Each structure stands twice: as structure tokens, then as C-alpha cells.
Amino acid sequence: MLVDSYAKINLFLELLGKLPDNYHEVNTVFCGIDLCDSIKYALTKKPDLKLWSNIAELESPNNLIFKVAAEMQARYRPEQGIEIRLEKRIPLAAGLGGGSSNAAVTILALNQLWDLQLSRAELEELAAGFGSDLNFFLHGGTALGSGRGERITQLPDLELRHLLLVNPGIRISAAEAYRLARIPQENERVSFEVYTELTANINRLEPGIRRAYPVVDGIISALRSGNALLAMLSGSGSTCYGVFEDATELQACQSELEAQGFWTYSARTLTKEEYTKCSLSLN
């Protein structure tokens, strides 16, 4: 089985406070985009679990792919093993959900290949145990993530055809991003429903990251100077993105940022229907 594993951006991220388990309660709007990794799965006669990647450091038991596969193998005892090959294109620790997407796709792939016949509820419970945004990647499209981000409510598709992703080549952990953030007072909170406006969108993790990492601040400023309708940090970063009105303005800004040595990618969002057709999903 060969599967594409798609990235996401956050169109909105509001902090609502801290939960008893010390995680932050959030409202965030996820949107799938057409940047993807590719993962190949092959059943083996022996109950082995092997993982290869074009990036050597990802061939590790610490990889979420390996963790979910090992958990499913231990929990459900399939007769066959699995060999997994990951072709990585999504930048690492970049706010694009690459690791979570890989893990979610792996849950769905192994459910099929091992014929586990897990219910939707069982798949979602399994995914939520490995990260706050895995459940989004079981569904795709555009969705509200609440709680820790694991409670998914589907939203109308938002089709953005001219997205410029820019990554400065640094890795920022979610733990650091949340540590640097300020939780707003109740009267300062913004409703997630502004996500469609592209002018009132917020990411509460962005100010702290911009202060701590001037390179991120510079990228967002460059996107705005390049006439992006919206320029902001995705998730906990370090990837930033700009939404442009047309391809010409996007390409001009992309050329300027590439000349400064940044990784860039011209992307578009995926509708729910597109996501379902081009990747594994629960739909």
C-alpha cells in the first residue's frame, strides 16, 4: 500500500486556558494542504516491525509512525509484521503536522492491512493518545479542533489556491511555543469563526515565537510586504505562510525569500472531497 500523507496549516489558534493535565485548551482551525510525504507499507510473514526513511534520523523508535505501529501490534497481535518506508518532504518540527499526519495515516493503513476492523471511535481514541492533532488527519478538509485540539468538528471548505509556505530551517517544539505564549483574558478572546475573513485571523503562539526568533518575525514581515492578504505562523512554527490573491504576487515574494536561503513551497488547500480521494480517511 502506497499512501500520501498530507500536511496542514492552522488558519486560527486561540488559547482558552490550561487543562487539569497541564495541556492548553484551544480552539484552532486546521486546513489540509497539498504538500505531502509518501509512505509505503508492506506486510511480512514474520511479525517484525521495520521503518526506513530518506532521512536517517527518522528511522527511530521515537518516530510516531513506529510508536503507533508498535502499539497496534502489541494491542491487537496481528499474525503478520510490517515494513514501512517513509519518503519525507514536509519539514520537521515545522508547525505543518507532518509527524502527526504520518502517524494518523499509519493507523488507518494498518487497520486495513491487518484487517483489524476497528470502529471510528476506536480509531479516534487510538489517534488521540499520540497527539492533539492526529484526529484531524483522520478526516482532513477544514475543521475546528477543540479541547487539546483532538475534538474535531468539520467546517465548510475554505479553498485557498495561492498559499506560500516559508520555513527558516529551525525546529521549534510545541512545548516551547506554548511556554512562550500568553493566555488572553476572557474579554480578549476571538471567535474561531473569523477564520474565513483572512484579516482577523490570529495565532496566539505567534507573538512569543516572533520575539524569541527574529527570523520568523522577518519572514512574516516580508510576506506582508509582498502583499499577502494574510501572513502568519502555522501552529507552533517555525513555518510561516502567506495567502495571496494571485500567482504573480506569490511568485514574486517566493523568489525574494528563496534568494535569502529559505525553504518555500507554493501550496493550496484541499477540500474534504479531495482529501478523501487522495489519502486514507475515515470518510
Residue range 210-251, pLDDT digits in tens: 999 999 999 999 999 999 999 999 999 999 999 999 999 999
Q: Does the pLDDT at position 272 exceed 90? A: yes
- The CATH fold of domain 2-156: Ribosomal Protein S5; domain 2 (3.30.230)
CATH 3.30.70.890 in the chain is located at 163-267
Catalytic residue among 4, 37, 88, 133: 133
According to CATH, where is 3.30.230.10 located in the chain? 2-156
Topology, domain 163-267: Alpha-Beta Plaits (3.30.70)
Catalytic residue status for 133: yes
Percentage of the chain modeled with pLDDT above 70: 100
pLDDT for res 38: 98
**Are residues 42 and 82 in contact, defined by beta-carbon separation less than 8 angstroms?**
yes
Residue of 8, 37, 88, 272 marked catalytic? 8
Does the pLDDT value for residue 283 go beyond 80?
Answer: no
Output 21 or 184, whichever has higher pLDDT.
184
Give the pLDDT confidence score for residue 51 in this predicted structure.
Answer: 98
Output the pLDDT for position 280: 87
The reported pLDDT for the residue numbered 201 is 95
Please say if 67 is a catalytic residue. no
Share of the chain above pLDDT 90, in %: 95
